[in-house]
Amino acid sequence: MGAFSFSRSTTVQPHQISHHRRLKGVVGTLLALILIAASLSFGIEPAPARGHTPDTIALVTSQGRFTLLSELSPEARTRVFSFGNPGDIPLMGDWDCDGDATPGVFRPSSAHLYLRNSNTSGIADKGFMFGNPGDSPIAGDFNKNGCDTVSVYRAPAAMVYIKNHLTDGIADKSFVFGNPGDEAFTGDFDGDGIDTVGLQRGALGAAFLARANTSGLADGLRFGNPGDQIIVGDWDGDGDQTVGAYRPSTGWFYYRNSNMTGAAEGSLYVGRGFTVVTASGIDPKSIAGDPFTPVEPKPEPKPPVADTPVDPPVSTGGSVAVAGFAPPPPRPVSGPITVSGESGVVIENVHVSNPGGKCVVVTNASNVTIRNSTIGPCGSEAVYLSDVDGAVVEGNYITGTGNGVLVHRSDSVRVDGNAFVDAGRNFVQFDKVNGAGSSISGNRGQNELGGSNAEDLISLYLSNGTASSPIMVVGNHLRNGGPSNSGSGIMLGDGGGSYQFVEGNVLVDPGQVGIGVASGTNMTVRGNRIYSSSVPWSNVGLYVWNQYGAACGNVEVSGNQVNWTNGGGSSNGWWGGGGCGEVNFYGNDLNAPVGPNDFQPPG
């Protein structure tokens, strides 16, 4: 599949096939065992085992004329029938649970659905309303009961509405998936017997296949060209449903036998001017009509394919080109992701965006990893963690967000090795993070100087490490704050806190303050390089001052190199505001040869 995943620490189940195929497979297996037993008893040689019946397709005109093919072959026979009205949207599914797909139509003007239980012309066997006018119908077995039902995708809102009964009424389930304007299809992409939603992003020629009928991640691949119609089916009879693409501009149908980016493994010229739908469970011998004779066959074009899934590269943002801020690699796109009450979740190699709110939300969870992903644009936090016991956020590219990573009331959280570009109020804020094993290290971040909403690039608010394992803020490279007159590069002890250790960071024009200790106990600020030019909001490079009246003491400020010019043009590397006892201040160079060229992001 595509190069991204969303994994959970659950036992991997053996490969399964869709429900009606699985029932047939069980019956076939029992029959085979009986035949084998008979052969052993009577010397009869058993026949070779046979696979599942491959899926085929039906070609549907805008007037409701279905041409059902017996197989995906130039030698196919056909069955032709009419169903529905001009302008209806065709679909096929197993409405009566007998294992065979038959026609249905969705009337977009009224959201009426009409279903028929045989592949013949005639009136509907069942009719009902579901969805809104203008919705797109999607058919499948969404609850693993062996029967297909009809759900809808509302493209303007990127909403999926699942219904598990062929009746009027409200949806059994709904969720956000994809981007507004995507086109939906369905299939059993992982062989678990449950159909899930796939999306086609036509401008990219890309498909995204969901693993579950929930908001969240999908497996991305590229197949076909922009403008193709994507459907899925079991084209080779192995029990897996994989991608196919009908190209209306040329009349060719292409398919692959795996859900991976690559060239077509089969093709058939079917003609122009159709909507193509998958037909499952069709016995080829039951279709004995005229031979399939498409008109005006054309030379088969070679469909271009990409080597990787095709989410376009995102902008690096900012106004200054800085080494180490190359755009991230292309990654398949996802809408917002929510994880709650789970353990062992891994989110990786995905591009998450949600311009209207938070991108990744994790609550009441443990041992969560978010890595090697592109996150943004986001209307607020790129990553929001609350009440999490153990999390790693690493190797991500976070850009165009209202806030970066906000960690609330959690413990043992590492935010390491990420890139932040125009990432909002804070790159990282720890809010009531406690216990051992937490760090904010090896990150690199940049805003537009004076043109961002930045406050503290890194903020530790009411957070506590331990004597043996302080909160480590080490080796970060941060650049450009302002125009806030209260922002800083790194703020320790905001509201209080303890056991916070800051070392080896590089700050260039980070805001009003380079590194501040606002209160707290057992604070260490050691060996950092801090620079600011004279900008209207710049004030002081280092300070220790109990701003909150909380406990404040045992503070060390040592070995730092500072070159700080305040807004009035004067050097102002250090200020001790009092309230924290005697500060252990030594080995600092407040007129050090530190400049903007010291900002070299790691990696």
Domain containing 185 — which CATH number? 2.120.10
Q: How far apart are the first and last CA of the chain?
A: 28
* Residues 130 and 209 occupy one common structural domain: yes
Residue 303 has pLDDT above 70, yes or no: no
* Residues 113 and 209 occupy one common structural domain: yes
* Residues 376 and 258 occupy one common structural domain: no
- pTM, to two decimals: 0.52
* Residues 497 and 571 occupy one common structural domain: yes
- Show the domain range for 537: 333-598
Reported as half-sphere exposure (CB side, CA atoms, 13 A), residue 250 has a value of: 20
Mean pLDDT over 194-204 rounds to 80
Q: What share of the chain is helix, strand, coil (3-state, %, to 5)?
A: 5, 45, 50
Query: Do 541 and 509 meet the contact criterion of CB atoms below 8 Å apart?
Result: no
> 39 lies in a domain?
no
Confidence of residue 307 (pLDDT cuts 50, 70, 90): very low
* Residues 507 and 427 occupy one common structural domain: yes
* Residues 391 and 248 occupy one common structural domain: no
- Residue 342: closest CA among 406, 387, 392: 387
> 33 lies in a domain?
no
* Residues 524 and 378 occupy one common structural domain: yes
How many domains is the chain built from?
A: 2
* Residues 267 and 381 occupy one common structural domain: no
* Residues 99 and 219 occupy one common structural domain: yes
> 42 lies in a domain?
no
Query: Which of residues 259, 286, 313 is at a domain's end?
Result: 286
* Residues 356 and 434 occupy one common structural domain: yes
Structure tokens at 253: 């149908």
- Residue 108: closest CA among 349, 352, 351, 275: 275
pLDDT over 70, % of the chain: 84
Residue 484 has pLDDT above 90, yes or no: no
> 311 lies in a domain?
no
> 30 lies in a domain?
no
> 74 lies in a domain?
yes
* Residues 239 and 341 occupy one common structural domain: no
Residue 33 has pLDDT above 50, yes or no: no
- Residue 436: closest CA among 462, 417, 474, 464: 464
Mean pLDDT over 250-258 rounds to 91
**What digits encode the pLDDT tens for the residues 70-97?**
999 999 999 999 999 999 999 999 999 9
Choice among 105-114, 198-207, 340-349, 477-486 with the minimum mean pLDDT:
198-207
For the domain that residue 381 is a member of, what is the CATH number?
2.160.20
pLDDT of residue 30: 37
Residue 239 has pLDDT above 90, yes or no: no
> 317 lies in a domain?
no
* Residues 200 and 74 occupy one common structural domain: yes
